[in-house]
Amino acid sequence: MLTKGEECTNQGQAYYERLYRQRVLHNLNRRAQRLGMTLVPTTPAAQPA
């Protein structure tokens, strides 16, 4: 039980991977800004079959 009286629930691997990706992108963006650069989002290249 958590401090708010809620039961602890497993959010799943996808949830934690999404949080990790957000954290990595945020830190990378800050690092780029300190170096005077900006990040430009792109679409991922198609994987060959």
What single letter denotes the amino acid at residue 18?
A: R
16 lies in some domain: yes
Whole-model pTM?
0.63
Does a structural domain hold residue 18? yes
The boundaries of the domain holding residue 25 are: 11-36
Per the structure, the count of domains in the chain is 1
Judge whether 45 lies within some domain: no
Please write the tens of the pLDDT for every residue from 3-17. Answer: 777 777 888 899 999
Sign of the torsion formed by the C-alpha atoms of 14, 25, 42 and 46: negative
pLDDT at 47: 73
**34 confidence band (pLDDT: 50, 70, 90):** very high
| 25 part of a folded domain | yes
Question: Does 41 have pLDDT greater than 60?
Answer: yes
